[in-house]
């Protein structure tokens, strides 16, 4: 995959995760969403910091203590380890493409 915005997967039940690069202590991943969100009763609670950048589409991100914000292309957020969070919505009418960098 030489372009992160081309040849996007078709809408499917699940989001599509693709590893782009891994190094000791860091992993870069592309995520493609088509309307998915994180279940309210199963938020993320990760043991590592994650930095996310929205590349295309739109999404809502709720982070414990910070509340919910709408993300548009170019928006980026650092989600510290063990900060409970969830994706509240993603665009239903177009793909939403995230870049995620996982640390540690």
By CB under 8 A, name the binding residues for a second copy.
2-6, 20-21, 23-26, 28, 49, 51, 53, 55, 72-78, 99, 101, 103-104
If the CB atoms of residues 67 and 74 are measured against a second copy, the closer one turns out to be 74
If the CB atoms of residues 37 and 49 are measured against a second copy, the closer one turns out to be 49
Q: Shortest Cβ distance from residue 40 to a second copy (Å)?
A: 25
If the CB atoms of residues 76 and 82 are measured against a second copy, the closer one turns out to be 76
Kindly report each contact of residues 79-84 with a partner whose C-beta sits within 8 Å and lies 24 or more positions away, as own/partner: 79/46, 79/49, 79/50, 79/51, 79/52, 80/49, 81/46, 81/47, 81/48, 81/49, 82/45, 82/46, 82/47, 84/43, 84/44, 84/45
Q: Shortest Cβ distance from residue 21 to a second copy (Å)?
A: 6
Q: Which of 52, 62, 50, 53 is CA-nearest to residue 87?
A: 62
Q: Shortest Cβ distance from residue 103 to a second copy (Å)?
A: 5
Q: Shortest Cβ distance from residue 17 to a second copy (Å)?
A: 16
């Amino acid at each position: 995959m030489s372009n992160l915005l081309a040849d996007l997967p078709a809408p499917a039940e699940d989001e599509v995760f693709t590893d782009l690069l891994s190094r000791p202590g860091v992993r870069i991943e592309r995520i493609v969403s088509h309307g998915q969100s994180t279940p309210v009763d199963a938020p993320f609670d990760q043991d590592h910091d994650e930095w996310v950048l929205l590349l295309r589409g739109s999404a809502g991100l709720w982070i414990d203590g910070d509340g919910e914000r709408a993300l548009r292309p170019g928006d980026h957020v650092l989600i510290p380890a063990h900060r409970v969070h969830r994706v509240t919505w993603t665009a239903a009418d177009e793909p939403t493409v995230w870049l995620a960098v996982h640390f540690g």
